[in-house]
Amino acid sequence: MAQQPIELILFRQLATNLAVPVFLVDERGDLVFLNEAAGDLLGIRFDDVDQLPFERWATMFRPRTPEGELMPAETLPLSLAVLERRPAHDTISLTGADGVDRTIEVTAFPLEGGGGRLIGAVAMFWERETP
């Protein structure tokens, strides 16, 4: 695999030590890392999936609006962050790889390096508490 940009390396190092779930994609939108907290919420371990192409991760958890309507891949906050290079936030219901349904709040933002070079994007998310 080609050398990762230093900004992704540093963000992965940070994410590894965070209790907040973090999902990291490269400039193509492919998953390059998720931390343990994100793995717990999504029912997967990064060691088991390694890298996932955009088309795979954006659909494998069956993302839905809280009302139950399926969300197209390109409308997810992380997709908007990497495709449109802007921050995005949304509430999403999903089904983890462990079969558990959860509703999460997602905030995503693009990572840009020197000269405005797109490096990837980050999503941080939290499980929404049931009222």
Residues that bind other proteins (CB under 8 A): 1-7, 9-10, 12-14, 16-17, 112-115
Determine phi and psi for 95, rounding to 5 degrees.
-115, 115
Cα 74 to Cα 76: distance, rounded to the nearest angstrom: 6
- The sheet carrying 22-26 orders its strands as 31-34, 22-26, 118-127, 101-112, 88-95
Q: Which is nearer to other proteins, 18 or 100 (CB)?
A: 18
Q: Say if CB 104 and CB 125 are below 8 A apart.
A: yes
3 state DSSP class of 126: strand
Tell me how far, at minimum, the Cβ of 69 lies from other proteins, in Å. 37
Q: How far is the CB of 76 from other proteins (least distance, A)?
A: 25
Cβ closest to other proteins, residue 7 vs residue 30: 7
21: three-class secondary structure by DSSP: coil
Q: How far is the CB of 36 from other proteins (least distance, A)?
A: 11
**Which of 3, 130 has the CB closer to other proteins?**
3
The distance of closest approach from Cβ of residue 23 to other proteins in the complex, given in angstroms and rounded to an integer, is 16
Q: For other proteins, which is the closer residue by CB, 17 or 130? A: 17
